Amino acid sequence: MTPLLQVRGAGHRYGLRHGCRDVDLDLWPGEVLAVVGESGSGKSTLLGTLSQRLGPSEGSIRYRMADGRVIDLGEESEAAVRRLWRSEWGFVHQDPADGLRMHVSAGGNVGEPLMANGWRHYGRIREAAAGWLERVEIPADRIDDHPTTFSGGMRQRLQIARNLVVSPRLVFMDEPTSGLDVSVQARLLDLIRGLVFDLGLAVVVVTHDLAVARLVSHRTLVMKDGRVVESGLTDRVLDDPHAAYTQLLVSSVLQG
């Protein structure tokens, strides 16, 4: 058994400057990995590199596909990578407007990935969309409403439904809760935690909020200036931080 995602020496450059570099990590099914750090630390670049949303990258990123084949993502064609996006991966953006079609109904937004995967039966598409809206606690009678009429929390839950409807194996999340009110954040975190557990998802979640890392992740990677300065079990990293920067991050959290 090999990991779902095996990353060695991964990096990405913007011109001469590295957005992130020398990242090693393994991700296994059912595992939630948090990537923490302040803005500019390279955590979003790392997410873009892993998910192949950014251009050619350094190092190797190997992915074990649903059929068991292990592929090197850097060597795959754009068509193959996009097939992964459609069928095996999800990407939850910080701003739901980036991950949703704001002028397509909620049902259409959730149904689109199914149609992209060849579903051609309206009734079944609608049924699947309705089932997912219920799962993310969006009332059934909102299925034909546009996300523009939804609250921030509802939009984010809709984006999650759109991502999970194809039963992905790996989901990337970029600050999924940071645009939301604190009360809504808790509800969304609970939802994410439950879905991750029920579906056995592997997740890479980027967050600047250590509380989010604490609540949803098994392991944490701390980034600074494009490099991983510390990694390990989330409890260990947050309770017994070794790197100076991690100690600073942990000590900077406001105690509620």
Partner 1 sequence: MNRTPILAVSGIDKTFTMHLQGGQRLAVLSDLAFEVFPGECVVLGGPSGAGKSTILKLVHGNYAADRGRILLGSGVDVATADPRAVLAARRDTMGYVSQFLRCVPRVPALQVVAEPLVERGVPHDEARERAAAVLTRLSIPQRLWALPPATFSGGEQQRVNIARGFLPDLPLLLLDEPTASLDSRNRDAVIALIHEKRSRGVGMLGIFHDPAVRDAVADRIVDVEAFAPRAGAAA
Partner 2 sequence: MSARQAVYNIGYLDEQTKRMIRRALLKAVAIPGFQVPFASREVPMPRGWGTGGVQVTAAVIGEDDVLKVIDQGADDTTNAVSIRSFFASVARVATTTRTDEATIIQTRHRIPETPLSEGQVLVYQVPIPEPLRFLEPRETETRRLHALEEYGLMFVKLYEDIARFGHIAKTYDYPVLVGGRYLMSPSPIPSFDNPKMHRNPALQLFGAGREKRIYAVPPFTSVESLGFEDFPFEPQRFDEPCALCGSTGGYLDEVITDDAGGSMFVCSDTDHCERTATRSGTESATGTEAIA
Instruction: Report if residue 31 touches partner 1, rule: CB under 8 A.
Output: yes
Instruction: Report if residue 90 touches partner 2, rule: CB under 8 A.
Output: no
Q: Count H helices, E strands: the chain?
A: 10, 10
Instruction: Report if residue 144 touches partner 2, rule: CB under 8 A.
Output: yes
Q: Considering only 103-111, 118-126, 173-181, 234-242, which stretch makes contact with partner 1 by CB under 8 A?
A: 234-242
CA dist 108 and 231 (Å) reads 40
Residue 31 vs residues 82, 91, 123, 201, 248: alpha-carbon distances, Å: 23, 16, 34, 7, 26
Instruction: Report if residue 243 touches partner 1, rule: CB under 8 A.
Output: yes
Cβ distance to partner 1 smaller for residue 159 or 220? 220
- In DSSP notation, 18-54 reads EEEEEEEEEE-TT-EEEEE--TTSSHHHHHHHHTT-S
Instruction: Report if residue 141 touches partner 2, rule: CB under 8 A.
Output: no
For the bound state, the minimum distance from the C-beta of residue 174 to partner 1, rounded and expressed in Å, comes to: 20
Cβ distance to partner 2 smaller for residue 8 or 103? 103
Cβ distance to partner 2 smaller for residue 117 or 247? 117
Can you tell me which of 72, 98, 121, 239 binds partner 2, judged by CB under 8 A? 121
For the bound state, the minimum distance from the C-beta of residue 143 to partner 2, rounded and expressed in Å, comes to: 8
Can you tell me which of 13, 18, 53, 126 binds partner 2, judged by CB under 8 A? 126
Instruction: Report if residue 224 touches partner 1, rule: CB under 8 A.
Output: no
Instruction: Report if residue 112 touches partner 2, rule: CB under 8 A.
Output: yes
Amino acid at 246: T
Of 195-234, which residues contact partner 2 (CB under 8 A)?
Answer: none
Q: Structure tokens of 107?
A: 């049902």
Cβ distance to partner 2 smaller for residue 36 or 106? 106
Can you tell me which of 187, 199, 209, 227 binds partner 1, judged by CB under 8 A? 187
Burial of 168 (0-12, 13-18, 19+ CB in 10 A): buried
In degrees to the nearest 10, what's the CA dihedral of 179, 182, 186, 187? -70
Cβ distance to partner 1 smaller for residue 227 or 236? 236
Strand ranges in 100-207 using DSSP code E only, listed in sequence order: 170-174, 202-207
Instruction: Report if residue 56 touches partner 2, rule: CB under 8 A.
Output: no
| 226 Rama class: left (phi>0) / alpha (psi -120 to 50) / beta | left
Can you tell me which of 36, 196, 215, 221 binds partner 1, judged by CB under 8 A? 215
